[in-house]
């Protein structure tokens, strides 16, 4: 194999592939990427056996076809540190040489025949959506997935397709985020009225794909796998097994106390009110009174904090406690100048809404 790469394009591809390659694994070949040069194009693949990336590299010159398997982290480090615009790569007999204007590296790899097959994308997609809308939705729900849970369904994001709408829903059992976006066209019968649970890692990979906001993402469902294509990148993944919670049952419908807050002001207020919280006293209290919202915290070993915000509110006063980090997480991803908080009773979930397409449900905590 003999190929000349545009270094920047290669670095971008390897950066994404390195996100799927496991840093630790009993199978050393999984810490590698497969580079295949054929028919004037170069394809790089990586996988952890649950998710995979198949990436066609732009701006290449193939002088000799072939393939090589090399450690992903070593190759990425060399490419990122290089100052050259063009890097030459030559591979034969299990060794890969990377040559720049003033540098020469040789990396020893593995037998390409032993590398696991990484699916590509054949035919038309069952669903089409713009990458900008999908990535914005991912960022608004991904943080709410469970980081570690024996209920595997909570470790993923549910895709709920209804007509020409796609809803992404994530929960860790204490909070829930839902974002709804428009599809470019009605989905195929395979996807109509379908609910899928996609691993959080796969969603994170999709969020890292570099593309123009209006570029299309095509999605295909094959057995218990999903394939997602955007431009020259194909991400394939197993689906999460298990049943997603019936989240509709926990969405409050009788929260009659509504306040509207400016996003940047609210984020600053919550951060300041949480500065003196501790491991034992990690909650903040929201005290809603006529025309005033007070955010406060108290930790016996640390001290007290209080932040006042002027609001337009004429309803019944309420005091309610929340985990401040859970408030910070959601306010940081709100892509609007203001949002609504809807509250009911102090022991009932609170809800944050932005228009008709984003909502966040948060369980209260007892402040004692």
Do both 89 and 131 map to the same domain?
no
Q: Which residue has the tokens 């890292």?
A: 208
Gap between the Cα atoms of 17 and 292, Å rounded: 50
Do both 222 and 262 map to the same domain?
no
Question: Has residue 150 got a pLDDT over 70?
Answer: no
Does the residue 35 lie in any domain?
Answer: yes
Does the residue 328 lie in any domain?
Answer: yes
Domain end (from 114, 140, 171): 114
Closest to 342 (Cα-Cα) out of 273, 266, 252: 252
Do both 174 and 224 map to the same domain?
yes
Half-sphere exposure of 201 (CA within 13 A, CB side): 21
pLDDT tier for residue 122 given thresholds of 50, 70 and 90: confident
Domain end (from 216, 231, 247): 247
Does the residue 162 lie in any domain?
Answer: yes
Question: Residue 211 maps to which CATH number?
Answer: 3.10.150.10
Structure confidence at residue 224 (pLDDT): 86
Does the residue 314 lie in any domain?
Answer: yes
Half-sphere exposure of 114 (CA within 13 A, CB side): 12
- Taking a C-beta distance cutoff of 8 angstroms, is the pair 98, 89 a contact? yes
Taking CA atoms, 284 is separated from 271, 312, 326, in Å, by 10, 21, 11
Do both 147 and 90 map to the same domain?
no
Do both 10 and 109 map to the same domain?
yes
What percentage of the chain reaches a pLDDT higher than 70?
Answer: 99
Strand partners of residue 238: 225
Do both 237 and 256 map to the same domain?
no
Six token digits for residue 289: 């009174």
pLDDT tier for residue 322 given thresholds of 50, 70 and 90: very high
- Taking a C-beta distance cutoff of 8 angstroms, is the pair 64, 2 a contact? yes
Count of residues making up the chain: 368
Does the residue 121 lie in any domain?
Answer: no
DSSP string, 149-198: -SSGGGGEEEEEEETTEEEEEEE-SSEEEEEEEE-SSPPPTTTTT-EEEE
Do both 108 and 141 map to the same domain?
no
Do both 152 and 216 map to the same domain?
yes
Do both 272 and 303 map to the same domain?
yes
What percentage of the chain reaches a pLDDT higher than 90?
Answer: 74
Total domains in the fold of the chain? 3
Three-class SS state of 360: strand
Q: Which residue has the tokens 């943080």?
A: 143
Six token digits for residue 50: 């649950």
pLDDT tens digit sequence for 177-226: 999 999 988 787 777 767 889 999 999 999 999 877 788 999 998 888 99
Do both 81 and 193 map to the same domain?
no
Closest to 219 (Cα-Cα) out of 193, 244, 183, 243: 183
Gap between the Cα atoms of 70 and 58, Å rounded: 20
Do both 29 and 109 map to the same domain?
yes
Do both 136 and 241 map to the same domain?
yes
Domain end (from 227, 247, 267): 247
- Taking a C-beta distance cutoff of 8 angstroms, is the pair 178, 214 a contact? no
Residue 133, domain extent: 127-247
Does the residue 299 lie in any domain?
Answer: yes
Does the residue 224 lie in any domain?
Answer: yes
Does the residue 178 lie in any domain?
Answer: yes
Report pTM.
0.89
Rg over alpha carbons for the chain, rounded to the nearest Å, is 25
């Amino acid at each position: 194999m003999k190929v000349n790469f545009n270094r920047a394009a290669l670095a971008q591809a390897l950066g994404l592939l390195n996100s799927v390659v496991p840093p630790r694994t009993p199978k050393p070949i999984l810490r590698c990427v497969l580079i295949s040069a054929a028919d004037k194009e170069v394809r790089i693949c990586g996988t952890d056996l649950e998710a995979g990336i198949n990436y066609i590299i732009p701006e290449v010159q193939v002088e000799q076809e072939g393939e090589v398997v090399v450690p992903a982290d070593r190759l990425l480090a060399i490419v990122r540190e290089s100052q050259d615009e063009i890097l030459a790569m030559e591979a034969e007999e299990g060794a890969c040489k990377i040559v720049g204007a003033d540098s020469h590296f040789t990396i020893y790899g593995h037998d390409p025949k032993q590398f696991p097959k990484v699916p590509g994308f054949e035919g038309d997609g069952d669903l089409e959506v713009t990458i900008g809308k999908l990535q914005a939705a991912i960022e608004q729900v991904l943080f709410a997935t469970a980081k570690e849970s024996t209920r595997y369904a909570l470790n993923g994001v549910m895709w709920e397709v209804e007509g020409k709408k796609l809803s992404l829903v994530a929960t860790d059992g204490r909070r829930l985020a839902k974002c709804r976006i428009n599809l470019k066209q009605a989905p195929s019968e395979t996807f109509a009225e379908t609910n899928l649970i996609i691993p959080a890692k796969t969603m994170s990979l999709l969020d890292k794909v570099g593309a123009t906001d209006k570029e299309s993402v095509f999605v295909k469902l094959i057995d218990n796998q999903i394939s997602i294509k955007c431009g020259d990148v194909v991400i394939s993944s197993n689906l999460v097994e298990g049943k997603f919670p019936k989240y509709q049952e926990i969405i409050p419908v009788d929260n009659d106390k509504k306040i509207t807050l400016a996003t940047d002001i609210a984020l600053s207020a919550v951060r300041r009110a949480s500065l003196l919280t501790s491991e034992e006293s990690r909650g903040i209290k929201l005290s809603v009174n006529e025309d005033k919202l007070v955010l406060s915290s108290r930790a016996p070993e640390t001290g007290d904090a209080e932040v006042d915000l002027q609001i337009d509110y004429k309803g019944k006063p309420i005091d309610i406690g929340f985990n401040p980090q859970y408030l910070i997480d959601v306010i940081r991803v709100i892509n609007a100048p203001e949002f609504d908080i809807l509250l009911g009773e102090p022991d009932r979930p609170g809800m944050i809404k932005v228009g008709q397409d984003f909502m966040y449900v948060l369980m209260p905590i007892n402040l004692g």
